[in-house]
A and B are shown apart, each in its own frame.
Chain A
Amino acid sequence: MAEAMRSDGIDPAVLAGNESNRAIAAEIAAIPLAPKLPRRFWWGFAAFFTIGLLFLGCVSYLLAAGIGTIGLNVPAAWGFLIVNTVWWIGIGHAGTLISAVLLLMRQNWRNSINRFAEAMTLMAVALAGTFPILHLGRPQYFYWLLPLPVTHMPWPNWRSPLVWDFFAIATYIIVSLLFWFMGLVPDLAILRDRAKSRGKQRIYGFFALGWRGSAYHWHRYRIAYYLLAALATPLVVSVHSVISLDFTSAIIPGYHSTIFPPYFVAGALYSGFAMVITIAVPLRHFFGLEDFITLKHLDNAGKVMLASGAVVAYGYLCESFFAWYSGDQFERYMMWNRMFGDYAWTFWFMLACNVGTLQLLWFKRARTSPWLLFALAFIINTGMWVERYVIVVTSLTRDFLPSSWQNVLPTWVDFGILFGSLGLFFAMMFLFVRLLPLMTIFEVQELKHELKEAQ
């Protein structure tokens, strides 16, 4: 048995302490069920929610005053909002990877981090979904991208990557939601049973869908959960590939590049895991979850980042190489402009963040010191956002005819929406932590159980 376990690659280090199942349940369920949380929790929430309001404010202004209020012009008709979309979708990917792919690969160490990673995915993708609509000139007609049975006969142009996009993102949101909820059911039942107040019992109870944890339930549950996982797995690859097609299939130098699909997916995981760490480190610190989110987790996450980051770096290399090797004057100028043009600093900043800091992750020391990792993750996420800016905006400002070249500057609305969306995201994470178990209680118990047997 023990051998079997090791062959499963479970490292005892993934869980510390040795609570009983009840204790585990108690510890994790404590947070959502606690009558009140320490004041600083609410201060944190209030801070982020205030920033979140900035998002709502700027969006309302944008809708009222028109798309001209954000930094766009005719060579560069796409701006911050598209950059945000790509970035947020990328963030989302980590969640799906952890929960679905690692589940199928029986990487049980994932068990204590998948729940909030999924929550993160859900919120990131939901946010990402709003930007393309806000970015329309006439957002009120976004539904014209659907084949509608109405008399004025709107019909999608199936050749357009934006249509693929539309469906890709929609699918992603739905699947992530189902997967996340599916995973919650048994825990909701636990909360239901541990809840003291009738109100909580009813609410948690309603969503627990009458789960009693019978063998029969578990049997059904496993099948369904693994099926969903299998469904979600291809999305990890497909969604961001489709997004990248928005650029790849355009003819603009800097967009028109075959390397994009793999390189976008890698980038997505890179930034995604960075975000997981950005969330995990404070969580384990403030809620004393060092026993559940152990250094082992951080170490693994660090390794994934190292791998995906390396692929991204390779992507940069390829892009530059092909630009030169193609011999195409437009491609060459594009790359030259990225490196030495008006926006050169963004390019070098991107390299510094995404390739430079990456090197630290070669060292176990770095991977296992939480706050250093946290800092790296933060820098890398910034770098990844800038990467998308370099691709989306700087390419546009210098295209084929020099006569139409023009730089573009973001407005305060752009920044308002970007930072506002971050605020909203973290505010929602706070609510999630408050209302739901931030780890899969039963899976952690299971893991514990297996480890016990392993010894």
Chain B
Amino acid sequence: MPVTDKDMREELAAAEPARFWRSLEERARTPAFRRMLDAEFPEIAERYATATDRRTALKLLGASLLMAGMGTAKAAEGIAPYVEQPENLVPGEPQFYASTLNERGYGMGVIVEAHEGRPTKIEGNPNHPASLGGTDPIMQAAAFSLYEPTRSRTVLKGNEVATWGAFQAEVAELRERALLQGGAGIGVVIGPNTSLTLQRLFSQLQQAMPALRFYLSDPLAGTPRPYAVLPHFDEAKIVVSLGADFLGEGPGRLAAARGFADSRRVRAGGQRTMSRLYCLESIASLTGAKADSHLLVRPSAMDETVARLATAMQSGTGDDAFTTALVRDARAAGNGLLFIAGERESAFVHATAQRLNQPSAGITHTLIAPVATAPADSGSLYDLVTDIGVGAITSLFVLDCDLMHSAPADLDVGAALEHVSSLYHHGLHVDETARKADWHVPATHDLESWGDLRAFDGTASIVQPLIAPLYQGRTIAELAAALTGDFVSSSLDLTRATWAQLDDAGWREALKRGVIADTAAPAITAPPLAEIANPVQEAAQIDVVLTPDPFLDGGTHAANLFLTELPRPLTKLVWGNAAELAPATAQTLGVATGDLIEIGIDKQVLALPAFISPGQAPDTVVVPLGFGRWTGEDSDTVGTNAFPLRRRGNAWLLAGARVKKGQGSGRIITTQEHHAMEGRDIVRDVPLAAIADEGPSAQEPPSLYPPYEMPEEAWGMSIDLTACIGCNACVAACQAENNSPVVGPDEMAVGHDMHWLRVDRYYAGDPEAPETVFQPVPCMQCEDAPCEVVCPVNATVHTHDGLNAQVYNRCVGTRYCSQNCPYKVRRFNFFQYQDFDEGSPLSLLMNPNVSVRERGVMEKCTYCVQRISAARIQSEISDQPIADGAVQTACQQACPTRAITFGNIKDKQSAVAREKTEPHSYALLEELGTRPRTTYLARVTNRPDEDKGNG
């Protein structure tokens, strides 16, 4: 069956999921199986301290098969068949299971690809409202964090290796004592989590121990609201973002991105209208980059500006171009109006947005009750420290959060934790908090655990494990259960119990589809508007504002080097954070990129390298959060931790912050050093009104070469620059699919990055309020490829279906092909980047269908040739032609906005062929006559100043 067929994937995902698991599970219980593992993989057995643990054993099975696959071919290479073949596991065939990933407590539905029981690749689950088939870089990196080598592996008592059993005993004893005083003295710190199972267990816990206290540690929490807004972009003619990055953050961003992009997908033959986006922002964001008109205001001026905008909406006259146009359009749009307030904007901004939204309620958006992420009466960290101070808390459970990293400066968590007589920590890493703890229990990765999560719209889905826990990991649910006195139930039992209303068929259905039917939250009517006075913020000379790093989720993924090395969408920064500021601001401060900037609050002073990033508001310094987290002995801390700049009530905009140029300079590593197009015709714009009725506008330039003949399929790709939001999901997906290595900061610094696909970001216009454009650049698979001519050893050649194939085992590494590539999409293994150490858990991450490249070899985007081959082989076997859409490239499949279309351009009916006939389709650098198979759809703009008459 073609593994790349989307439908097939769903179908496979639907294939009886639990059985493979169960069959292995059963086998694992037999002592025979455990003996086999000890005997078969002694070297592995001793590498993992706990190899005899039955769960580890299961993973070793996967490991062994992988190693059989990756071992070098020798005269006598050992091959071990199964003793008993597991049901529905066919060696060499991938399996697909639906599951759910946890992003800041919310569920993201995924379909996970596994090879011989090792998850290797994450895809979006089309059935899941938060994914709709799309993914983001964090989801793509999930498999990496599963095998990430610095993960915590064993239960620790102090620094001694202990066992889960011992921990249970400890908890049991604690429980005995606590029950007498109704749980007084016990505190539980949790991160945001929408799991209903957890909520069930927590309420049980509260019933058993009324005095037990919960504390919520959510360092990235926004402004609390009694409702959540679900936008309907298909209805909204005018979208206004009040500091909201709805494309770039929040649990609903993928759905929003899809909806937004669909509302702007203009085609000659089809949809001829597009929504218009007004964006009012102080921190450069993906949303701002897509805005048709946008206004930069410094954070401290946001409320005031919003207030003026609100009055202008009533009076009907604006005092600047932005507002005037907005007001005019708003009048015209009538009910098709949608205001979205930013997560972290003040309550005033939210109230204003809500009031302006009222007329179009139910049309451009619906309101739902916010999805609960913690027990109702959870205290804050401040409460925790106070309670510890007064001795109200003596035993503390810290479940899956790193207080030491995210604590604000005016809160001495360290000292507080010292006062707790017994501290229990649970997490993926032995981080600073764990080091303070008396007990540490390793957490399971989402791909190792049973559980459930709710999406942004309330839809619940099951977290299904693809592999048994690699180490002694436990889920939060299991810990909570232990506190309630349940020491036997596995996380599967606990989850199943929560969903008791589902019979076996219903349960199976839920696992198949990856969502539990009819669990979406019902719409509510808008709560009565509390009139909030416009709070006047005193403006410092320079505003310092914190913002979450797009990939690290406030430090949760700090150990995930895959994400650390992924270029940030706007700054293209890797391996660290910087103080980002607009060119003019840099001038006033007298700093250049790389110079240290000192940000001081009270006695706290933090020095970061400056990074000039056009698109930031004037007089504003933006500092990303999530860096500088220490995640265990053999891990390096990357970047600077900015949490210590925080104060009570000063979570984001840091009032009273002092900014000045510091001494010396810091390290800035970026994958793109030039930001202007130099007047070259690289990213093309076309005004909505200017789109012709039929294309193609661009005529192929004349060529001396004979026309390219297409005996069979002719693979081609079209990338819609209007739809692309520059999120980098495609880059991450490409890296995950094609075994691309992580090369480290020093290599990135000298330009040895290995991402086959890159998203170029250019600025145009006034550097103080620039227009930002994105352009994903994979290999163009030129028909007249310059690289092919110059390779002396025929290592890069053309295939019958138009691929520009790179033969790694033929390459001697002259790098001439890269020289001669006008798009510079080729990547070279300057060193041995690939980790051939089969002892490293990361070796389990490898996609067995893609060669692992060695030192001195050129590599590049192959249009995911392994997926093409799989489809071709199936068609050879079945003698059926490859259906349109049967082959999806990794980037295409990951794209949340479906900006990438791929297929057979010879078949004029194929989606890609139709895209290529659009009038605004063009080839990059087509004047070079390379005849790229990858083409672009020009960026359709809908600026207010464009509409003459219409609008």
Binding site for B on A (CB under 8 A): 65-68, 71-75, 77-78, 135-139, 141-142, 144-145, 154-157, 159-163, 166, 246, 249-252, 255, 329-330, 333, 396, 399-406, 408-409
Q: A136-B812, A250-B790, A404-B824 are in contact. List 20 more A-B contacts (CB 8 A).
A: A66-B832, A66-B855, A68-B747, A73-B750, A73-B751, A74-B751, A78-B819, A136-B813, A136-B814, A137-B830, A138-B812, A139-B812, A142-B812, A249-B790, A330-B680, A401-B777, A401-B823, A402-B676, A403-B760, A409-B750
B948 sits at the interface (CB 8 A): no
B379 sits at the interface (CB 8 A): no
The residue in chain A whose Cβ has the minimal distance to the Cβ of B761 is A403
Q: Are B792 and A145 in contact (CB under 8 A)?
A: yes
Q: Are B790 and A68 in contact (CB under 8 A)?
A: no
Binding site for A on B (CB under 8 A): 672-680, 682, 747, 750-753, 758, 760-762, 775, 777, 786, 789-794, 810-816, 818-820, 822-824, 826-832, 855-858, 924-925, 928
Q: How far is the CA of A409 from the CA of B824 in the complex (A)?
A: 19
Which among A68, A74, A154, A160 is the interface contact of B824 at CB below 8 angstroms?
A74
Chain A residues near B823 (CB-CB < 8 A): 400-401, 404
Q: Smallest CB–CB gap between A315 and chain B, Å?
A: 22
Q: How far is the CA of A161 from the CA of B790 in the complex (A)?
A: 7
Which among A135, A157, A329 is the interface contact of B792 at CB below 8 angstroms?
A157
Q: Smallest CB–CB gap between B858 and chain A, Å?
A: 7
Q: Are A137 and B811 in contact (CB under 8 A)?
A: yes
Q: Are B832 and A160 in contact (CB under 8 A)?
A: no
Chain A residues near B819 (CB-CB < 8 A): 77-78, 250, 252, 255, 396
Q: Smallest CB–CB gap between B358 and chain A, Å?
A: 44
Q: Are A137 and B790 in contact (CB under 8 A)?
A: no
Which among B794, B813, B925 is the interface contact of A67 at CB below 8 angstroms?
B813
Q: Are B760 and A401 in contact (CB under 8 A)?
A: yes
Q: Are A399 and B789 in contact (CB under 8 A)?
A: no
Q: How far is the CA of A144 from the CA of B826 in the complex (A)?
A: 21
Q: Are A155 and B815 in contact (CB under 8 A)?
A: no
Chain A residues near B677 (CB-CB < 8 A): 402
The residue in chain B whose Cβ has the minimal distance to the Cβ of A256 is B820
Chain A residues near B794 (CB-CB < 8 A): 154-157
Known: A74-B828, A145-B793. A399 touches B822 (CB 8 A): yes
Q: Are A408 and B680 in contact (CB under 8 A)?
A: no
Chain A residues near B820 (CB-CB < 8 A): 250-252
Q: How far is the CA of A157 from the CA of B816 in the complex (A)?
A: 13
Can you sample 17 A-B contacts with CB below 8 Å? A66-B856, A68-B752, A74-B826, A78-B815, A136-B812, A136-B813, A137-B828, A138-B812, A138-B857, A160-B789, A162-B816, A249-B789, A251-B820, A401-B777, A401-B822, A402-B677, A409-B750
Q: How far is the CA of A78 from the CA of B924 in the complex (A)?
A: 25
Q: Are B824 and A73 in contact (CB under 8 A)?
A: no
Q: Are A160 and B791 in contact (CB under 8 A)?
A: yes
Q: How far is the CA of A453 from the CA of B599 in the complex (A)?
A: 92
Known: A66-B832, A400-B822, A402-B680. A166 touches B813 (CB 8 A): no
Q: Are A401 and B812 in contact (CB under 8 A)?
A: no
Chain B residues near A72 (CB-CB < 8 A): 815, 830
Which among A136, A138, A403 is the interface contact of B762 at CB below 8 angstroms?
A403
Q: Smallest CB–CB gap between B678 and chain A, Å?
A: 5
Q: How far is the CA of A201 from the CA of B758 in the complex (A)?
A: 69
Q: Smallest CB–CB gap between A86 and chain B, Å?
A: 15
9 tightest A-B CB contacts, nearest first: A137-B813, A137-B856, A68-B830, A73-B751, A77-B815, A404-B824, A403-B760, A162-B792, A138-B856
Chain A residues near B679 (CB-CB < 8 A): 329
Chain B residues near A157 (CB-CB < 8 A): 789, 791-794
Q: Are B831 and A68 in contact (CB under 8 A)?
A: yes
Chain B residues near A409 (CB-CB < 8 A): 750
The residue in chain B whose Cβ has the minimal distance to the Cβ of A250 is B820
Q: How far is the CA of A450 from the CA of B829 in the complex (A)?
A: 63
Which among A159, A163, A249, A251 is the interface contact of B822 at CB below 8 angstroms?
A251
Q: How far is the CA of A138 from the CA of B758 in the complex (A)?
A: 26
Q: How far is the CA of A141 from the CA of B808 in the complex (A)?
A: 13
Q: Smallest CB–CB gap between B687 and chain A, Å?
A: 24
Chain B residues near A330 (CB-CB < 8 A): 680
Chain B residues near A65 (CB-CB < 8 A): 831
Q: Are A405 and B750 in contact (CB under 8 A)?
A: no
Chain B residues near A73 (CB-CB < 8 A): 750-752
Q: Are B830 and A141 in contact (CB under 8 A)?
A: no
Q: Smallest CB–CB gap between A85 and chain B, Å?
A: 12
Q: How far is the CA of A157 from the CA of B787 in the complex (A)?
A: 12
